[in-house]
Amino acid sequence: MRTIRQAAIDKIRAWSARRHGLDSLPIKINRRRIYILPTRFGIMLGLVLAAMLIAGLNYNSNLGLAFGFLMASVALVTMHHCNRNLLGLQVDVTTEVDAFAGREARFEFVLKNASNVERRDVEIRCLTASGICSVAAASSESVSVAVPVPRRGITRIAQFELRTRHPFGWFNAWTYVQGSLIAHVAPAPRGERTLPSAAGAGSGSRSEVRGDEDFAGLRAYEPGVPLKHMAWKVLARGGEAAVRSYTSLAALPEWLEWSALTGLDTESRLSQLCLWVLESEAAQRIYGLRLPGREIAPAFGAAHRFACLRALAAYAIAEPR
Amino acid sequence: MTPKPVSYEQLWGIFACLILALLAHLGSLPVWVLVTVAVSGGLRLALARRGRAGPPRALRLSIVAVAIALLFVQFRTFNGLSAGTALLVLVAGLKMLETETQRDIYVITLSIYFVSVSALLESTSFWLFAYLIGVCWLTTAALLRLTGTLPLPDWRRCLRYSGRLLGQALPLALVLWLLFPRFAGPLWHIPEDGHSAASGLSDTMSPGDIDQLALSDEVAFRVHFAGAAPPPQERYWRGPVMHAFDGRTWSRAYSGQLGAPALQPQGPAYDYTVSLEPNQRRWIFALDWPSHWDLADAALTGDYTLMRRDPVSRPIDVAATSHTRVQWTTPLSPTMRERDTRIPPNSNPRTVQMAQSLRRAHPADAEYVSAVLAMFTQQPFYYTLTPPKLSDNSVDAFLFDSKRGFCEHYASAFAVLMRAAGIPARVVTGYQGGTFNRFADYWIVRQSDAHAWDEIWIEGRGWLRMDPTSAIAPERVEHGAGDALNAEDALGVGWRGRMHWFADARLRLDALRQLWRERILFFDQDSQQKLLEWLKIPEPDGHKLVLLLAAALTLVLCWLTWIVRREVDTSRKELLVRIYARLCAKLAAAGLPRLAHEGAEAYAARVALRRPDIGRAVTALCRHYSTLRYAAPTAHITVGQFDAAVRAFRPTARPKSSRRRTYR
């Protein structure tokens, strides 16, 4: 039974994917892509309505019939309201997120409601995970959906769905969105080896690296820079987004090396490297990552960390097209 | 999907709705069922309040088993409306005990809906209908609070939302109700519920029976005459006829004889429709003497009462024709003559003795009858609702001692006097008179119009109606019991008679009730046929009705789709801009067009300067616009309210004085 149901759902999903093609986000949900079916409770209500109709006809009771017809009409109106609850909603989502294996990839969805009616209880489903929210009239709301990612690699979600049972749970309206969501799943940070200290660190040799100790001027904005380094005053004057650049005196960069971790299997090595990346970042060191066939130059900061983690996630895995 | 637990508040809301729906069954369900439901619901609520789950499963199941067994013992069946409803109610109530998840509450809401319908199946009351629509509204609002996953909207908003849903459902329901094909008869036989109480006249008549009825304002039936109505002294509505007398009580003798003797109609025929209220009796009150009627399962008895096969348990309409004057052509059979002259031996000896002496003085039937009537008028007899209690020889006591009585005393005494003199006589009970409703052209016959009169057999003329009451109180027959009793005011009719507005209001209300009955309760195949004819559809039949239903449904559904989608199709911004444009257009028409560069606040300031009389209103409206447009989430006015305010805003033409001043 379960498998038949699942098979039917998969068929509908595939059909809907063919029908609508790949969607570009943000997407506004039009009426052609909203599907609606009664829930189990809705079917029960239908049976009760049928019983009301038969009883009314049998007893030749115009009042009974009137009540039954009113309830049936309410059910039909409810169907329209359920459908409307999704209609015209605009959905946006951060398509690429980072996560660690065994934890969750958090996709931040933004639902925007330009209309003058509240959208209540809209559920967003990605694979098995879901998030739910209501969006007031002429406002927007963000929902985060935490998709569990058990394995390292690049998890791609080709489709997510929006569904609602508002107002009474008699109907279930839903829509599929074909947007490819990508989670870069870094290996779970784990391992016993100690963080290698900067190899061949000479006592007097210093290199000037970007750091956060002494102000050194402005440089162009790039994603991932800590907010506290933003040059807000420049931005407020109408200039380009800029970042205050600092220098810090640090030791020589340390290299987190794949080749240093002999005696471990691939995943354990990657986990150990991941842990080192996090530890180096926490210790505010300057580090570089060397994987077979891939090298990331020493630096530090959120952007650098992400680059390293993504490299670990993608190691020996086909690149997403 | 994991089952969602329910909160105390949700439980409370749904329980209140269940109890409200059950109140509609107050008269028809055994009280212990209602009490069981109330107790089990209350118990569950009390437990939920302390955050505890319902009683254990074994206990619940045994309670259910005991309750259902009790129910079966009481009804002996689960088939039939009362028993079925009682079962449903009981199960829904006991379901309260085990409500843990949302699904359980869904089941309860469904049973609330069905319980409401079952209360309506055998009801005709507008008020009950309106009440149950209200219950349905509340239940739907409670359901809204149940399915909401996030902070629940407050009750008022839920009620408003479900009220709007009901409003939007109304046109669709109306189309379905008007055009859904009705069947002529039931789909299968409906088991009758035997425990409804009969009302109105009964099979027997004892002194004091009818004056009990006379206190009741309840409507017995209503009559609409197709042409002119007969004069009051001919408006006798025939009910059961009494033949057997035991010295105190008259009763119908079941001769088993059906098929009325033929009559020669004389005078005009009256066509009319009797709209009977349910009374759980089998007879139909037709005007004396009925010749045609349109009820298949009704027939005339030997003594001309129109009888049905089954009791009148729901309102029915009977169209009939009667002649108030007839000529009898068949003779009275000896057995009938014997039956209608029998008086129990040794009862009412003084009456019998007096009748015999009077008979010796007046050997001719006609003279004897006149003498008896003359006795009633000459001796101090009173027509009263509060006669003294009479002994077993009730006629003796009445004629010789109290001399005070209501119509049944006079009819009874008169019949005994006739029988004692060998003239066949029988007592007819029924109604006499009625109130004309001048607001809607029909007559209302109430229980207080119940009456008893006599018929005597005169050779060569047949059964003649004699109404001794009219000899004592002619105004009873002319104007009704209320007027005849005015002096003593036992009915309390007197003060009502003096308050014309009250009487009028009552009549208007009754006219509405009759309209409700005609248009709503009696809406059937024929009415649908008439509807199609009214719509000028040629050769109306069931097939065309279904086509029309399909067409109308399509139209209404299109309309529904449109009004529901319209709200999301335009964004709030567009909506606001449109409403604001309307405000600007109104001001422009008043001579103050908005300049292209002006913002709302600046425009309002300028208008206030030029037109101080509307300045305050315009400033408020423009401020609402800015708030809604730019500070939406915190606005304390809704777009709908703003729209209504702009619609209501009327900048009157500029006052003349100020115009002159500006020109100067």
What 3-state class would DSSP assign to A159?
coil
Omega before B230 cis (within 30°)?
A: no
- The alpha-carbon gap from A182 to the nearest alpha carbon of chain B, in Å, equals 26
Annotated catalytic residue within B288, B303, B467, B510: B467
Instruction: For B55-80, write each residue's pLDDT tens digit.
Output: 777 887 888 888 888 878 877 776 67
Contact B47, B57 (CB under 8 A): no
- For domain A1-186, give the CATH number: 2.60.40.10
CA max distance for chain B: 117
Instruction: For B439-496, write each residue's pLDDT tens digit.
Output: 888 888 888 888 899 999 988 888 888 888 888 877 777 666 666 655 444 444 444 5
pLDDT of B658 reads 46
pLDDT of A320 reads 46
Instruction: For B373-386, write each residue's pLDDT tens digit.
Output: 888 888 888 888 77
In A, minimum Cα distance to B85 occurs at: A55
Strand ranges, E, within B385-512 = 404-405, 425-432, 435-437, 442-446, 450-458, 462-466
pLDDT of B300 reads 85
- Percent share of chain B, pLDDT over 90: 13
Contact B434, B444 (CB under 8 A): yes
Q: Is the dihedral of CA B524, B525, B526, B527 positive or negative?
A: positive
User: What's the mean pLDDT in B275-288?
Assistant: 86
DSSP one-letter string for A100-151: ETTEEEEEEEEEEE-BSS-EEEEEEEETTEEEEEEE-TTEEEEEEEEEEE-S
| B644 interfaces chain A, CB cutoff of 8 Å | no
Instruction: For B138-156, write each residue's pLDDT tens digit.
Output: 999 988 887 776 667 788 8
Q: Which of residues 608-637 of B touch A (CB under 8 A)?
A: 632-633
pLDDT surpasses 50 at B663: no
Amino acid at A52: M
Q: Residue A217: count other Cβ atoms within 10 Å of its Cβ.
A: 10
CB-CB under 8 Å, A167 with B117: no
CB-CB under 8 Å, A76 with B172: yes
Amino acid at B355: A
| B108 interfaces chain A, CB cutoff of 8 Å | no
Q: Which of residues 119-148 of B touch A (CB under 8 A)?
A: 120-124, 128-129, 132-133, 136, 140, 143-144, 146-148
Confidence of residue B657 (pLDDT cuts 50, 70, 90): very low
Average the pLDDT over each of A310-319, B115-124, B639-648, B654-663 and give the range with the smallest value. Answer: B654-663
pLDDT of B559 reads 94
- The alpha-carbon gap from A172 to the nearest alpha carbon of chain B, in Å, equals 12
Amino acid at B486: N
Contact B233, B433 (CB under 8 A): no
Residue B145: φ, ψ to 5°: -70, -20
Q: What is chain B's mean pLDDT, rounded?
A: 82
- The alpha-carbon gap from A3 to the nearest alpha carbon of chain B, in Å, equals 16
Nearest to B600 by CA among B638, B631, B561: B631
pLDDT of B521 reads 83
**Alpha-carbon distances of A301 from A97, A225, A242, A284, A298, rounded to whole Å:** 17, 7, 16, 8, 10
pLDDT surpasses 80 at B659: no
| B309 interfaces chain A, CB cutoff of 8 Å | no
Query: Could you give the CA distance from residue A120 to residue B157 in angstroms, rounded to a whole number?
Result: 13
Q: Which of B521, B561, B571 sits opposite A114 (nearest CB)?
A: B571
Contact B114, B20 (CB under 8 A): no
pLDDT of B551 reads 94
pLDDT of B255 reads 58
pLDDT of A212 reads 54
User: What's the mean pLDDT in B499-524?
Assistant: 82
- The alpha-carbon gap from A40 to the nearest alpha carbon of chain B, in Å, equals 10
pLDDT surpasses 80 at B499: no
Omega before A232 cis (within 30°)?
A: no
Name the region of B304 (left: φ>0; alpha: ψ -120 to 50; beta: rest). left
Q: Which of residues 542-561 of B touch A (CB under 8 A)?
A: 557, 560-561
Confidence of residue B192 (pLDDT cuts 50, 70, 90): low
Chain B residues with CB under 8 Å of A167 CB are 144, 147, 161-162, 165
HSE of A319, CA atoms in CB hemisphere, 13 A: 2
> What are the 10-residue block averages of pLDDT along chain A, 321 residues in total?
83 85 84 91 94 88 92 94 92 88 90 88 90 86 91 88 90 90 90 70 44 61 71 74 62 80 86 90 86 86 88 75 43
Supply the DSSP symbol for B303. T
pLDDT surpasses 70 at B278: yes
Average the pLDDT over each of B204-208, B283-287, B304-308 and give the range with the smallest value. Answer: B204-208
**B297 is annotated as an active-site residue:** no
Element (H, E) at B63: helix B57-75
Amino acid at B609: L
Task: Please tell me which residue, A176 or B3, carries the higher pLDDT value.
Answer: A176
Mutate one of A73, A120, A133 to test the B interface: name it (highest B CB count within 10 A). Answer: A73
Instruction: For B538-579, write each residue's pLDDT tens digit.
Output: 887 888 889 999 999 999 999 999 988 888 877 778 888 888
Nearest to B260 by CA among B298, B296, B233: B298
Task: Please tell me which residue, B2 or B243, carries the higher pLDDT value.
Answer: B243
Residue A54: φ, ψ to 5°: -65, -45
pLDDT of B487 reads 45
In A, minimum Cα distance to B191 occurs at: A59
The residues, any chain, with a CB within 8 Å of residue B182's CB and separated by 6 or more, are A57, A60, B523, B524, B525, B528
Domain boundaries, chain A: 1-186, 187-201+253-321, 211-250
HSE of B642, CA atoms in CB hemisphere, 13 A: 29
What 3-state class would DSSP assign to B316?
strand
Chain A residues with CB under 8 Å of B140 CB are 74, 168
Confidence of residue B645 (pLDDT cuts 50, 70, 90): confident
| B225 interfaces chain A, CB cutoff of 8 Å | no
What 3-state class would DSSP assign to B99?
coil
Query: Could you give the CA distance from residue B641 to residue A78 in angstroms, rounded to a whole number?
Result: 25
Query: Could you give the CA distance from residue B457 to residue B574 in angstroms, rounded to a whole number?
Result: 89
Chain B residues with CB under 8 Å of A172 CB are none
Chain B residues with CB under 8 Å of A163 CB are none
CB-CB under 8 Å, A64 with B572: no
Chain A residues with CB under 8 Å of B639 CB are 116, 137
pLDDT of B660 reads 45
Tokens of B294: 């349109």
